[in-house]
Amino acid sequence: MTTSPPARVFTLPDLGEGLTGAEVVAWRVAVGDRVAIDQVVVDVETAKATVEVPVPFAGTVLELHGDAGEVLDVGAPLLTVGVAAADRPAVPAPRANGSGSVLVGYGTEHLTARRRRDRGAAAPATPNGCAASAPARQTPPGDPAAPLVISPLVRRFAREHGVDVALLTGSGPHGVVCRRDVEEAISGAAHPAPSGAGERPGGTERIPLRGVLGSAAEKFAVSGRTPTATAWVDADATGLLEAREVLRAARPARGIGLLALLARICVTGLGEFPELNAALDAGRGEIVRFREVHLGFAAQTDRGLLVPVVRGAHARSTAGLAADLSRLTALARAGELRPGALTGGTFTLNNYGVFGVDGSTPLLNPPEAAMLGVGRIVDKPWVCGGQLAVRKVVQLSITFDHRVCDGRSAAGFLRHVADRVERPTLLLADL
């Protein structure tokens, strides 16, 4: 007489940063599969990022709790595994989150990279959601004709627009379905969508406010109740552009661009006006001023607007800031940012000029007390040395919580920024 191995239920772990739940994006395993300790079994999406979740014990998958698109609470059943005697460790050892694995997206980058190599995962996605090469396991068990959709962002994009990826022909390497394939299906320009897939009752579409959208909505609601004020000034950015070109020519490998130079200017300005590197603790009736600058910056991605944070920006060189900005932007657009990389900012740099607009009165990023806005740089008539000339002009703005700092501090910071945009050699005095 044989008996079934004891079943163990793996619950959705605490993903940190105060998150209470996550949406199932895609399962990496199916019922009947064998899993090893620390094997990634599911991709979930939180309000912060997409996270790979490893299982803390080995055995045979008996049940998957939750379908793709379903939101599970922390502590809810995620996976049931039958654990045979051979799968039980000989010498139990205490493990973080029930296993020796750091949740992918929370651990060190070298561990994440090693796990990807070990399990033969998909290569990093391109901006179109494709991958350079196909994964070792390309299709679900028993479904050899299933399309290749490597990117969870592409899967979600298709689901939100009612597109059945099973009817698409992938244009990426090895037939991988990319974002552009889904976009063409939506527009009807290439692959036809299934009958009724694009229909919405009454010509409307309902998009759940969860994940990044839900998190943003909550923050905007809080920010909308904050008594803010905005000041702005035009500045001649010709000198800043010239400084960028000099740095590019002298140190091309360092990749120092305008955003890095503006970040350096912000850091020096906050050193002079620490009132803006602060937050309000309303519960205790206190203003909290931070000694360190953790600089957030706006990054547009397929998942919406994200604000990655350069930690310890005050201690970074300009080249170091450039490297961090580039690295975090790439991770944000690939959907691979750790949730912790999106929290803890003390000040935000918002370059909305990339959208082709001159100015804005943005909502603050709670609990931060201030945000610098940078518009597009355009040719405008400008009085220079008593003569009218065509110069590269940018509009700068500072939005601030009036409970935390006053207009004089905000104006002083904005003038500090404008002066260094116009005369970047002043940064040498700030070193």
- Asked if 309 contacts 337 with a C-beta cutoff of 8 angstroms, the reply is no
Q: Which two tokens stand for residue 30?
A: 């199916």
Beta bridge partners of 7: 82
Beta bridge partners of 310: 295
> Nearest to residue 211, comparing CAs of 79, 302, 330?
302
Distance CA 277, CA 405 (A): 10
Q: Provide the 8-state DSSP code for 98.
A: G
> Nearest to residue 152, comparing CAs of 338, 339, 334?
334
Exposed, middle or buried by CB within 10 Å (0-12, 13-18, 19+), for 207?
exposed
Q: If you write DSSP's letter for every residue of 247-307 in order, what string do you get?
A: HHHH-GGG---HHHHHHHHHHHHHHH-GGGSEEEETTTTEEEE-SS--EEE-EEETTEEE-
N-term to C-term CA, the chain: 78
| DSSP-based three-state secondary structure for 131 | strand
| DSSP-based three-state secondary structure for 103 | coil
Beta bridge partners of 374: 396
Q: Provide the 8-state DSSP code for 17.
A: T
Q: Which of 110, 191, 402, 416 does the annotation list as catalytic?
A: 402
Catalytic status, residue 294: no
What is the number of residues in the chain? 431
Q: If you write DSSP's letter for every residue of 369-422 in order, what string do you get?
A: -EEEEEEEEEEEEEEETTEEEEEEEEEEEEEEETTTS-HHHHHHHHHHHHHHHH
Beta bridge partners of 209: none
Distance CA 59, CA 85 (A): 9
Beta bridge partners of 280: 287
Q: Provide the 8-state DSSP code for 13.
A: P
Active site residues: 402
